[in-house]
Amino acid sequence: MTDLPPKGRVKLGLVIDLDTCVGCHACAVACKEWNDGGSFGPLEDRDAYGAQPDGVWFNRVHSYQVAVQAVPPLLRTVQAAAAAVTAPAPGGCGGQAADGMTVHFPRSCLHCEKPACVTVCPTGASYKRVEDGIVLVDEDLCIGCQLCAWACPYGAREFSEHHGTMQKCTLCVDRIYNDQLAPEDRQPACVKACPTRARHFGDLGDPDSAVSQLVAERSGYALMPELGYEPVNRYLPPRPRRAAPPEPAPAAAAADGYDPAALPPLLRWLDRALSR
């Protein structure tokens, strides 16, 4: 039944650190690689080496430019803001760089506690597991009506024209319980692949778990909580960046009547290049 099961104690999910993510897409590629050969594969790939490659990916890594903001909203709680003021980053002023910052943002299924993608499903193919909260699609039941993709605000579901069914992140359910793998490898492929350890996997239902403590410590937040789907995954906000080094004071140069703005363009460029 696509009725939601009673809320379970275990809430497996990911914690993604936007501070350390470098936007390398290794998570997306590792996910594609594992799931292409895993029990939920193959993931659709059309014209993979052609002019218009197209296919299903469970992870999409966006890159955003975040402008300077008067109040640092990245510090999502009062405690975090207070901590940043009392303990500024070493060598920095605790604020943002003068020209804002770049944030890489991996987007995947958040394994919501109240997933509309599950309740709209007319067949029962979409379901939420009671034992660990993972949201899955049963490829043998899915009729490919795509209503679940419409119901998901996070873009977690992609339709495979080849299969005629919907595909989505499985939280590597075929890895995390896999006896054939070494215990340290029983983690989602994206978590294992991340070179900066920006991705953490664990039980967010247990307040003492490493991931829950990380969320508490770093003021981890949920995406679009106002929609009411209660995502399990959490994002850790970027830490305050060091401010850019101050511009060199032009006062000393002006004393000898040297004005770079008056130079011809070529020399002005040379002056700029040499002053770097």
Question: Contact at 8 Å (CB) between 45 and 167?
Answer: no
Binding to another protein, residues 232-271 (CB under 8 A) = 235, 237-238
Q: Determine which residue in the list 22, 93, 130, 141 makes contact with another protein, applying CB under 8 A.
A: 141
Question: Contact at 8 Å (CB) between 77 and 85?
Answer: no
- Angle among Cα 247, 240, 203 to the nearest 5 degrees reads 160
Binding mask 212-231 for another protein (x = CB under 8 A): ---------xxxx--xx---
Q: What CA–CA distance (Å, rounded) separates 30 from 189?
A: 6
Q: What CA–CA distance (Å, rounded) separates 13 from 188?
A: 10
With binding defined as CB under 8 A, does residue 150 bind another protein?
yes
Binding to another protein, residues 20-59 (CB under 8 A) = 23, 25, 28, 52-54, 56-57
Q: What CA–CA distance (Å, rounded) separates 239 from 136?
A: 33
Helices (H) and strands (E) in the chain, counts: 9, 11
Return the number of the residue (107 or 111) whose C-beta is nearest another protein. Answer: 107
Q: Determine which residue in the list 8, 19, 146, 214 makes contact with another protein, applying CB under 8 A.
A: 146
Closest distance between another protein and the C-beta of residue 159, in Å?
5
Question: Contact at 8 Å (CB) between 158 and 166?
Answer: yes
Strand duo 12-17 + 234-236: pairing: parallel
Binding to another protein, residues 167-206 (CB under 8 A) = none
Question: CB neighbours of 213 closer than 8 A, spacing ≥ 6?
Answer: none
Return the number of the residue (62 or 272) whose C-beta is nearest another protein. Answer: 62
Return the number of the residue (52 or 180) whose C-beta is nearest another protein. Answer: 52
User: Which range binds another protein by CB under 8 A, 121-129, 170-178, 179-187, 209-217?
Assistant: 121-129
Return the number of the residue (77 or 268) whose C-beta is nearest another protein. Answer: 77
- β-bridge mates for residue 103, sequence order: 64
Binding to another protein, residues 58-117 (CB under 8 A) = 60-69, 71, 73-74, 76, 100, 102-103, 105, 107, 116
Whose CA is closest to 218, among 74, 84, 83, 80? 80
Closest distance between another protein and the C-beta of residue 75, in Å?
11
Closest distance between another protein and the C-beta of residue 271, in Å?
31
